[in-house]
Amino acid sequence: MATKERPDMFCYQCSQTVMGEACTLKGVCGKEPTIARLQDNLIFAIKGISAYLYHARELGYTDDAVNAFIERAFFSTLTNVNMDAMEYVKLALEAGEMNIRTMQLLKKAHIERYGEPVPTQVQTGTVRGTVSSSPVTTLRCLRNSSSRSRALTSTYTHTLRCFLRTATRV
Which of 27, 55, 56, 66 touches ligand SF4 by CB under 6 A? 27
Question: CB-wise, 36 or 66, nearer to ligand SF4?
Answer: 36
Rg (CA), the chain: 22
Residue 17 as a binder of ligand SF4 (CB under 6 A): the answer is: yes
Which of 7, 28, 54, 158 touches ligand SF4 by CB under 6 A? 28
Q: Are 25 and 9 in contact (CB under 8 A)?
A: yes
Q: How far apart are CA 41 and CA 24, in angstroms?
A: 17
Q: How far apart are CA 23 and CA 93, in angstroms?
A: 27
**Which is nearest to 94 in space by CA: 123, 117, 112, 71?**
71
> Closest approach of Cβ 46 to ligand SF4, in Å?
17
Pattern 104-143, ligand SF4, x by CB under 6 A = ----------------------------------------
DSSP 7: P
Q: Which chain residues interact with ligand SF4 by CB under 6 A?
A: 11-14, 16-17, 23, 27-29, 31, 80
